Structure 1
Amino acid sequence: MSPLGISLAIFLLAFWEVVGKTFSYESIRLDPADSHDFPAIRFDNKAAGSPRTTTTARCRAWPGSNDWPSDSEWQQLNTSLGGALLKPLPPASACYQGDQYNESTCRWLVNQAGRTHFWLDDPLSTLTQWPQGSTCTLVSHPQGSCTRGGFPEYVVNATTVKQVQAAVNFARNKNLRLVIKNTGHDFGGRSMGAGSLSIWVHNLKSFEFIPHYRVGQYSGMAVHVGAGVESWEHHNHMAAHNIAVVAPGGSTVGAVGGWISVAGHGLLTSKYGLGADQVLSNNIVTADGHFLTVDPNNHKDLWWALRGGGPSTFGVITSVVLKAYPAINITSTSLSFTVNPFLPLNRTLTPNSLTNITSFWNGVSLAYHYCAHIIAAGGLCYSYIYPLGNSSFTFTSSQTIPNITAPALTALLSPLYTQLNTLHTIPVTLPTLAAIRAVPYAGNSRRTGAAEPANTRYRSRLFPSYVWGHAMLWAEVFASVRAAVEDGGYTFHGIAYSPTAEMAGWPGRDSAVHEAWRATALHAILNEVQPEGITAEEARGRDARVQAYVDRWQELMPDAGAYMNEGDPAESNWQDRFYGSHYQRLLGIKREWDPWGVFWARTTVGSEEWAVITLDGYPAGQNGRLCRVQHK
């Protein structure tokens, strides 16, 4: 190559490194001069010794309180935002008698909206309804009236960093509760809050493939991803560029934000590690309103904390740079069987069904135990145990492994099927080679996303891999799973994978991710649908009942952590369960970067200093004012 060609190559490499760090919307930033006529959006400085806007107020401002911004201030904020301030109504208000009632709209919302992207594109809605307070639930013929409840009072439709900065500054300076939302794919209510200002990052959809990226010990392909990109969009971009990137398994989960800030799991967890392990750089607006690039060379405390230290805690992420890999294929098979011990003798058993309940549970235990072989091959087991009533249960699972041939997969699974048939008389058949095919992990560039609101409540633990090596402990652990399904009536959701520190590589192995992740073999979840309209007392009773089963898991596996994104917002001792030994270090970083407590969400670092005073006493709900905890 000529000297000119070498120079050009060096220039192009440097070009990709620089361009990959900021999007055009990140170059539009708030200038200190913007606050001259509107001091409510001025910056602050955490390094100034005593931040001038630190509040000693017992509670955050509340609509109607003396410190709530005036209408003119909200109008000035909207002007500063270029008209991006919204005050949307809950969509379900169309179903309630009153000015917003619309029968045809209500019918469409109830019957059709969940098949579209509507709920994900709504600035208020979250896909889990119960934290909102169930004050405006989506039903065809509701009783009473629709009120805002735990939904935010105002929403900033952020399309530039300037808008994010102005919103953060306004919330800090005016003592407002602040929340952050993308799609609302949120089981714990972190993206809502009564009386709050919400920063909606959903429309930060930019994506860029970087053929050559170099930082620290990493040199290779990367992608730059905007905070609003969802997993289905992420996969479409992968397909377009013929690459693979670790991404959420759920199509409508945000590929940035809270997913990577907690840990982030998906189909490639046992091959390339967690979502947090992929991060090479973060762009973020911190609590003082400033925009920073956080990477291995800049703001090293934040760099460590942002990868696994929790969402809605240290700032508003506007984009990230992630590792990218060559395109890969994935190969999957499914396994399922059902037990119905009271099937009439004259009824013919359907395929994969049995009547012996002991055989059923022994088979399920064997299937979960065999997942260790799938993990060792870099794959994942994804499964459910459903209670069907009348002592009947269904077990469904899929085994997915990257870059494996059909013959190799059948050879790997053959011993499992043999044992299910011969040891437990479970009539399952190993899929034929013709029925197994490899498909591109990235898909075909034509993925879409749809979702509808639900009332699912999650409780979870990360089962350590050592359980698989101790027969007696395994028997006790699995007996506790069986009891939760058989006696408790809960659905069990298990995802087997192993994101070890070795798999995480650099820089993932040195991060704030809970250490339990590095030794886990199964993400175990109990879920149920929280009934609408139950009282706070009934909710507390339900919590105590399911928690007894989770406590048994903790008793058997004291070092088991939990995945906050699919955990319980009412989790006791959440500091240890969600953060482990990292909590005190994270708390110090939180107090350093956010002495005002601008960023708050339940079970995030430092959140124990505040609590939502719910209007009805509903546990872990967001329908109430955020106030300081009064220590005795």
Structure 2
Amino acid sequence: MKRRDCLKASLALPLMPLVLKAAAAPNGPWSRVRPGTAGWPGADQWDQLSRAVGGRLSVPQSPFLGDAATHAEAMAQIHNPFYIGDQPALTQTSGYFGAWRSVPSAQMVSARDSADVAAAVRFVRQHRVRLVVKGGGHSYHGTSCAPDSLLVWTRAMNQVQLHDAFVPQGARPGTAPQPAASVGAGAMWIDAYDAVTTHGGRYVQGGGCTSVGVAGLVSGGGFGSFSKAFGSAAASLLEAEVVTADGKVRVVNADQDPELFWALKGGCAASFGIVTRLTLKTHALPATFGGVSLKVQADSDASWRALAAQVLRFYREALCNPHWGEQITFGGDRVLSISMVFQGLDRQTAEATWQPLLAWIQSRAGYTVREPLQALAMPARDFWDADFFRQHAPRLIADDTRAGAPPRHMLWKGDQGQVGWFLHGYASAWMPSALLGEDRVETAADALCAAAEHMDVGLHCNKGLFGAPADALAASAGTATHPAVLDAFALALIGNAGGPVYPGCGGAVDEPDARRGALRTRRAYDALSAVVPHAPAYVSESDYFQADWQQAFWGPHYPRLLAAKRRYDPDGLFVIHHGVGSEDWSGDGFERRAG
């Protein structure tokens, strides 16, 4: 031990009994309170909070544990994300094996505005109650779910306002106005797309899943189907209204609290405060949006690896550009599945793009086309118009089937399997552009095929920005997201899940099956690691047990994020799993670690 350390220790020894006593006490500086323990707010104190938020304080109740009629409705709507999202006691993911389960909070504030949120923040700060925040509730890591907590539920804050010429508050002189949309923290992307695109004729870069919350996706540095053209969602953030740990409502942008603003662009807002409104840049709408699908099966391992290598070459030459996005999946039964989207092309041009790959397949033995190439193009303004799809392509969407549901509520049919799922294992890896080089493409193909022997591997091409235009890359580089995304040609995703296991829904975790799913996911990831060792990962789609998560999620940006955390939330009021500064806390967010 160094002399300076010895001196520190000797000075600290007389104080140690007091420190240990404080740490052990329920109301000590190292712990939060729970119901039934000393310090938990009494009825009078909860009544004071209720009055402060206009009576919108209640105990969230799972509909699966309600009366017969409530339970029957919940069972009928269990695969409806809009219904699940409207239940404050539920989350869109029902849990993660060995990690967490969807459990309601002890109390809930149904916030209508930033004043409600600020009142809740001041209350938990005063009483040291665990705090969680939920808008869309899609977190795979259960960050909007914690037993014995106070939930701030922002679902009702879903207004969308369009601006022809937005200038951020307090902007420096000469800041040019630009088209934008202000979106409440509880809005889903279908709310934003309906207002901005269907009715407004412009584009806002958001998420692919229509029921995902706007605030969580933007602040997590999220991506949408067309991010290869427009960058990450965080890159379009112009301004945010956020309630910080001191209970203040702040409007932050590049000129007001710029470090906090930067942290909200990819650093996960729930580690820094509660976002109540975001203002996002909107873009000129392309003439068309569309999609392409194809399935091809190889009859041997050799032909499978040859196909994988050729697909990577084809992607490099024809698809790694702003026109294309979404998924190329390598399946364990040697099936290549294409489910991609495009923008700014007509159907004939999109189909012609794929002819070289089809010609390569057709000129060789060993391949069977299970589903022929299909292409669909439409006016871009109709891409999120539910009525358009109900009339022209109803098989592609699922509706919110509740009586009186907003007509804009639709989701892509392929996303419905995620509603309520219980994750067994999940992993992601940013795939660097170097793997597309001719000197590495064969090795990359071999790794993808080896991984697919254990679990399907999806390459989400829109979530890697290599091939994006310079302006999208520059804007995305100005966010807190891991810089690896700028050079990644795709995000590789591997996962396994079972059906819903909400208490009372009749589902149960099949532990042997869950263990197998987790093991297969890990083996697939390990096989892929042959070409991407220690790969950075996407925070919103990643392993709950991610090793070295600070570096994996944020890399060189982490020290700057941690400095912003220490500045704006020095006491750790906001804690989420593997969020910035969460290393200071126990896994459940209740006990502060000494150090």
* Correspondence for 2:132 among 179, 199, 203: 179
Shift of 1:369: 4.0
* Contact residue 231 and residue 253 of structure 1 kept, 8 A: yes
CA contact (8 A) 2:240 2:253 kept: yes
Structure 2: where are the runs of 5+ without partners?
A: 1-26, 388-407, 502-507
User: In the alignment, which residue of structure 2 is the partner of 1:483?
Assistant: 450
Q: Does the 8 A contact of 1:485 with 1:492 survive in 2?
A: yes
Q: Does 2:85 match 1:126? A: no
Q: Which residue of 2 aligns with 1:87?
A: 59
- Tell me how far apart the structure 1 counterparts of residues 40 and 365 of structure 2 sit (CA, whole Å): 66
1-structure distance, mates of 2:198, 2:243: 30
Deviates more, 1:120-129 or 1:450-459: 450-459
Q: Does 1:333 align with 2:278?
A: no
Pairing partner for 1:520 from 488, 506, 522 = 488
Q: Shift of the alpha carbon at 1:199?
A: 0.8
> What is the root-mean-square deviation in Å for CA atoms of aligned residues?
2.9
1:322 aligns with 2:283: no
Letter in 1 for 2:180: A
Following superposition, the deviation at residue 156 of structure 1 comes to 0.9
Write out aligned runs for 1:148-159 (5 A).
150-159=103-112
**Farther off after superposition, 56-65 or 512-521:** 56-65
Q: Kindly provide the CA deviation profile for residues 337-380 of structure 1, in whole angstroms up to 9, marking residues without a partner as x.
A: 246xxxxxxxxxxxxxxx44543443244334422321224311
- Counterparts of 2:85 and 2:334 in 1: how far apart (Å)? 33
Q: Which residue of 1 is the match for residue 310 of structure 2?
A: 366
**Distance across 2 between alignment mates of 1:501 and 1:305:** 24
Distance 1:150 1:105 in 2: 18
Q: TM-score, normalised by structure 1?
A: 0.76
- Tell me the percent identity: 24
Q: Residues 218 and 506 of structure 1 are in contact (CA less than 8 Å); yes or no, is this contact kept in structure 2?
A: no
Matched, 1:249 2:208: yes
Counterpart in 2 of 1:418?
359
The secondary structure found in structure 2 opposite 1:407 is helix
Aligned-partner residue type, residue 151 of structure 1: P
**Which of 575, 583, 586 is residue 608 of structure 1 equivalent to?**
583
Q: Secondary structure at the match of 2:362?
A: helix
Change in Cα spacing, 1:385 to 1:164, as seen in structure 2 (3 Å) is same
* Counterpart contact for 2:330–2:449, Cα < 8 Å: no
* Paired residues for 1:195-274 under 5 Å: 195-214=148-167, 219-237=177-195, 238-255=197-214, 257-274=215-232
**529-538 vs 498-507, which deviates more?**
529-538
Q: Could you report, residue by residue, the CA deviation over 1:305-334 in whole angstroms, capped at 9, with x for unpaired residues?
A: 111112311111111111111222213211
Partner SS state of residue 199, structure 2: helix
Give the drift of 1:515: 0.3
Change (3 A) 1:132 1:89: farther
**What SS does structure 1 have at the residue aligned with 2:61?**
coil
Q: Is the 8 A contact 1:313 1:605 kept in 2?
A: yes
Q: Offset at 1:474?
A: 3.1
When residues 453 and 569 of structure 1 are mapped into structure 2, their CA distance, relative to the original with a 3 A threshold, is same
Distance 1:588 1:544 in 2: 37
| Cα pair distance change 1:166/1:367, threshold 3 Å | same
CA contact under 8 A between 1:455 and 1:529: conserved in structure 2? yes
Show the 5 A alignment for 1:292-307. Answer: 292-307=250-265
CA contact (8 A) 1:243 1:326 kept: yes
Question: Cα deviation per residue 1:558-606 (whole Å; 9 max; x = unaligned)?
Answer: 4631111111221111001111111111111101100110111001100
Distance, in Å, in 1 between the alignment partners of 2:436 and 2:268 is: 29
Give the letter aligned to residue 35 of structure 2.
P
1:286/1:314 contact within 8 Å kept = yes
How far is 1:551 from its partner? 4.2
Separation in structure 1 between the aligned mates of residue 97 and residue 292 of structure 2, nearest angstrom = 39
**How far apart are the structure 2 equivalents of 1:116 and 1:526?**
22
Q: Among residues 123, 129, 132, which one is paired with 1:170 in the alignment? A: 123
Structure 1: 5+ residue runs without aligned partners? Answer: 1-54, 95-99, 137-148, 340-354, 614-624
Verify: 1:70 aligned to 2:42, yes or no.
Answer: yes
The structural deviation recorded for 1:202 is 1.0
Distance 1:151 1:286, change over 3 A: same
CA distance in 2, matches of 1:228, 1:608: 28
**CA pair 133-540 structure 1, distance change in 2 beyond 3 A:** closer
Q: 1:508: how far off?
A: 3.8
Question: What is the CA deviation profile of residues 104-158 of structure 1, one whole-angstrom value per residue up to 9, with x for unaligned ones?
Answer: 543442344424721111112111112598998xxxxxxxxxxxx7421111101
1:629 equivalent in alignment to 2:582 = no
